[in-house]
Structure 1
Amino acid sequence: MNIEIERKFLVKSLDFKTESFDKKHIKQGYLNSDKNRTVRIRVADTRAFITIKGKSNKNGTSRFEWEKEIHVSEAEALLLLCEPNIIEKTRFLIQVGKHVFEVDEFAGNNQGLVVAEIELSSEEEGFEKPNWLSKEVTGDLKYYNSNISKLPFTSWK
């Protein structure tokens, strides 16, 4: 079984952009955004994927994930079948110590939201925290992409 272990943080400044070694534009939608499982379609520049994720563990750091690359034209057709509110974001990759942070700067209805994620090999693994990281939101369901597709950031009070 494929288990994804990650932690998620808000970002307090855009300083991370100068440290980025790569970026890509991402468009993604959900065929299913049930809290127990999600089925996501993603186009990231010239590549596309279908991903199934299970429910997170109690603290939100680990969950089942299965992903398969598909043809971009298939993904674009599947995006038309997705639930409303396709997410668009730019993902920046930043090397910090021995880890890579993925920092998502959201666009459209989620403009203003910037979230950093780091994948770890265990829940206890330590990592270097860059100065642009802010509050940890690991396990906070409102920051899950499947949830911001339903309740966009710009509508939060």
Structure 2
Amino acid sequence: MAQEIERKFLVKDKSYRHSAFRSYVIRQGYICAERGRTVRVRIRDGKGFLTVKGPSNPSGTSRYEWERELPLPEAEELMMLCLPGVIDKVRYLVECGTHVFEVDEFHGDNEGLVVAEVELRSEDEAFGKPSFLGKEVTGERKYYNSSLMANPYKNW
């Protein structure tokens, strides 16, 4: 399994939209969303993906991740098995130095929430911070997509 290392931030303005080199719509659901393990089905750009994630380390920056692409019809069938609370969002990709920030604008029950993540090669890797980044929320479980499914932003 691959190790996913990332940092997560709230976004304080919409300047990322002008800097984005790509965007796409994502719809995802969870077959399993227990603390320490999730099984996610995602549909993006006419393709399906199945992702299994393990528990985060104590800082919330690192966890195991396994992902495979699925044919779209299979992903759509698996979405019917998901727990209630589908996540709908638009993801913007923004370059900053040698890193790419993934900025997610949530819709539906999570409308108004915008979060940026950057993947790193190590937990202590330095990276540039674009001006749109706000408070760091790495490791704060309420910002995990699996948590937003069960307790959406509109209820906070």
Q: Which TM bucket (shorter chain)?
A: over 0.9
Give 1:145-156 correspondences, 5 Å limit: 145-156=145-156
Separation in 2, partners of 1:31, 1:46: 20
SS in structure 1 opposite 2:78? Answer: helix
SS in structure 2 opposite 1:149? Answer: helix
Provide the residue aligned with 2:67 in structure 1: 67
TM-score by length of 2: 0.99
Provide the residue aligned with 1:46 in structure 2: 46
Provide the residue aligned with 1:5 in structure 2: 5
Deviations 1:107-128 (A, max 9, x none): 0000000000000000000000
TM-score by length of 1: 0.98
Provide the residue aligned with 1:19 in structure 2: 19
Runs of 4+ in structure 1 deviating by more than 3 angstroms, as ranges, are none
SS in structure 1 opposite 2:109? Answer: helix
The letter of the residue matching 2:97 is G
1:36 matched to 2:36? The reply is yes
CA RMSD of aligned residues (A): 0.5
Provide the residue aligned with 1:84 in structure 2: 84
SS in structure 2 opposite 1:146? Answer: helix
Separation in 2, partners of 1:84, 1:61: 27
Provide the residue aligned with 1:119 in structure 2: 119
The letter of the residue matching 1:5 is I
Identity among equivalent pairs (%): 54
Gaps of 5+ in 1: none
Give 1:101-112 correspondences, 5 Å limit: 101-112=101-112
SS in structure 2 opposite 1:100? Answer: strand
Separation in 2, partners of 1:34, 1:46: 28
Separation in 1, partners of 2:135, 2:47: 31
Aligned residues: 156
SS in structure 2 opposite 1:129? Answer: coil
Q: CA deviation at 1:54?
A: 0.2
Separation in 2, partners of 1:47, 1:9: 27
Deviations 1:86-123 (A, max 9, x none): 00000000000000000000000000000000000000
Separation in 1, partners of 2:136, 2:36: 22
SS in structure 2 opposite 1:41? Answer: strand
